[in-house]
Amino acid sequence: MADDWNIQIINEFRANGGEVGGQFAGMPLLLLHHTGAKTGTERVNPVAYQRVGDSYAVFASFAGRPDDPQWYRNLVAHPDASIEVGTSTVKVHARVADPAEREPIWTRQKQDAPGFAKYEETAAPRVIPVVLLDPVA
């Protein structure tokens, strides 16, 4: 079950100051706290990220599935969220990158983590959204 898998990663992340092993060893991961679009329930998902200035870019790849992950739909409905990065918690406001902003971020992500190029192929014709998480005071 996906929830059990996420819980294992979340527990490992928190036990090791934001580091995890296995298939995610060496990949920058954060824990995204978001609010359910329909339920209003807080959810937590581990997601890969890339620093873009002061912001954090995350990728709604859903491992290359043809639809968007629920966390993406939740952020669109409720863009105020928080993230755990390493041992810090940061309040953020989510916004979907426009096409011009998305392109260099997505290109870099595919270079840094080639699995994302495969996700792009299998998700097609869906364009994988890039979401920028901008820190807020």
Band of pLDDT at residue 98, cut at 50, 70 and 90: very high
pLDDT, position 23: 84
Share the mean pLDDT of the chain: 95
3-state helix, strand, coil in the chain (%, to 5): 35, 30, 30
In angstroms, the CA 53 to CA 75 distance is 20
Mean pLDDT of 48-55: 98
Mean pLDDT of 98-116: 97
Q: Would the CA dihedral through 102, 106, 109, 115 be positive or negative? A: positive
Cα atoms found within 13 Å of the Cα of residue 87, Cβ hemisphere only: 3
The yes-or-no verdict on residue 95 having pLDDT over 50 is yes
- φ/ψ of 72, rounded to 5, equals -65, -50
Report the share of the chain in percent with pLDDT over 70: 99
pTM, whole model, 2 decimals? 0.93
For 27-39, the pLDDT digits (tens) are 999 999 999 999 9
pLDDT, position 1: 45
In angstroms, the CA 112 to CA 74 distance is 27
pLDDT, position 2: 57
Q: What angle do CA 28, 13, 40 make, to 5 degrees?
A: 95
Please answer whether residues 59 and 116 qualify as being in contact, where contact means their C-beta atoms are separated by less than 8 angstroms: yes
Domains and CATH numbers, the chain: 2-135 (2.30.110.10)
